[in-house]
């Protein structure tokens, strides 16, 4: 090692970068850090629905230029009737656009939000459940074709009780997810049960309930996730929840409480303990920005939120 000169190091570094270029890899900082053996930090992504009026290429450009490494897709923003209308050629084109922007596809969320209309996962109507499960199967293939690995099952209006008991709705929920779990696993996808507050749905409101459902299904393709905004029915702080359910949490959604973009509230202070837990536990799944107020526009949402995420990181030990 004593004979390994600075010139040798520069030459080796050039060879590494040259190999990356020849392999079609984007020579951005997080991949270089991985090559050099450093911890690359959190993997940040942004959900696309705040930019639905823009072209796919423009969405990817905004997300990438703001410093995110992935994009998470609400498929209803891309279609008129359903994902079946997105051809294989278009799917390949979408992947190419993502890669050219230096982005990875995280996966999908808002899975059952229309279009298409009339879907419901926990209805007592057998035919509607059948159609809904069939569409979930189609989403799995769409997600897989784009290179995504996560499907976040929120969709509150498509999973409420509809006149039946909560327990019966949970039975239908488990039955439906189990019926598609093998397909998801074959495509390299995890379906993540999203706990939602009672203000949104009466089926699965806490991480404890989501973990219980995950254990009931007992399939490696079914896990859960954490969303800061959806902790309204929890009785423990963010950091305690993250430690308690860490092994089950394979995705994180972040935004200000109430759904605005980061930097408009007190997340820069309130979320530090939670992010410290994620750092301490060496969390290596995605952290996606998901907002519900789109009025500032995608570019401002992306840039100001990333600035806040970096401020939070700066407070970690």
pLDDT at residue 41 in the model: 86
SS3 content of the chain, % helix, strand, coil (to 5): 50, 15, 40
Instruction: Please give the structure tokens belonging to residue 83.
Output: 């994902």
Is 32 strand, coil or helix? Answer: helix
Label residue 39 exposed, middle or buried (CB < 10 Å: 0-12, 13-18, 19+): exposed
pLDDT at residue 5 in the model: 38
Rounded to whole angstroms, the Cα distance separating 68 from 59 reads: 12
Which regions of the chain does DSSP assign to beta strands (E)?
A: 43-47, 70-74, 104-109, 150-153, 190-193, 222-227, 249-254, 286-289
List C-alpha distances in Å: 83 to 140, 159, 208, 221: 10, 20, 32, 21
pLDDT at residue 17 in the model: 35
CATH class of 41-314: alpha beta
pLDDT at residue 40 in the model: 54
Q: How many residues does this entry show for the chain?
A: 317
Beta bridge partners of 72: 47, 107
Residue by residue, pLDDT tens for the chain (317 residues) are 333 333 333 333 344 333 333 333 333 333 333 333 334 589 999 999 999 999 999 999 999 999 999 999 999 999 999 999 999 999 999 999 999 999 999 999 999 999 999 999 999 999 999 999 999 999 999 999 999 999 999 999 999 999 999 999 999 999 999 999 999 999 999 999 999 999 999 999 999 999 999 999 999 999 999 999 999 999 999 999 999 999 999 999 999 999 999 999 999 999 999 999 999 999 999 999 999 999 999 999 999 999 999 999 999 99
CB 286 within 8 A of CB 72: yes
pLDDT at residue 294 in the model: 98
CB 286 within 8 A of CB 252: yes
Rounded to whole angstroms, the Cα distance separating 114 from 290 reads: 18
């Amino acid at each position: 090692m004593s004979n390994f000169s600075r010139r040798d190091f520069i030459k080796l570094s050039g060879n590494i970068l040259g190999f990356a270029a020849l392999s079609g890899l984007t020579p951005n900082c997080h991949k270089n850090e991985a090559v050099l053996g450093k911890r690359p930090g959190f993997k940040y992504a942004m959900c696309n629905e705040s930019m639905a009026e823009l072209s796919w290429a423009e969405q990817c450009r905004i997300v990438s230029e703001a410093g995110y490494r992935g994009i998470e897709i609400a498929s209803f923003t891309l279609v008129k009737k359903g994902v079946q209308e997105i051809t294989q050629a278009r799917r390949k084109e979408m992947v190419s656009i993502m890669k050219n922007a230096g982005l990875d596809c995280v996966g999908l969320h808002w899975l059952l939000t229309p279009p298409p209309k009339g879907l419901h996962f926990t209805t007592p109507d057998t035919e509607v459940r059948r159609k809904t499960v069939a569409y979930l199967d189609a989403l799995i293939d769409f997600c897989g074709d784009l290179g995504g690995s996560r499907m976040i099952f929120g969709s509150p209006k498509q999973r409420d009780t509809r006149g039946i008991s909560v327990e019966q709705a949970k039975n239908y929920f488990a039955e439906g997810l189990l019926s598609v779990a093998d397909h998801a696993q074959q495509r390299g996808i995890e379906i993540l049960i999203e706990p939602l507050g009672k203000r949104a749905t009466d089926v699965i409101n806490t991480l404890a309930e989501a973990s219980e459902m995950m254990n009931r299904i007992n399939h490696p393709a079914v896990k859960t996730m954490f969303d800061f905004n959806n902790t309204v029915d929890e009785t423990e702080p963010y950091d305690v929840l993250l430690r308690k359910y860490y092994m089950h949490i394979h995705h994180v959604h972040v935004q200000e409480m109430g759904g605005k973009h980061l930097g408009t509230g007190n997340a820069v202070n309130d979320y530090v303990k939670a992010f410290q837990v994620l750092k301490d536990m060496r969390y290596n799944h995605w952290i996606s920005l998901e907002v519900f107020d789109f009025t500032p526009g995608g570019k401002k949402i992306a840039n100001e939120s990333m600035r806040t995420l970096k401020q939070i990181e700066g407070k970690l030990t």
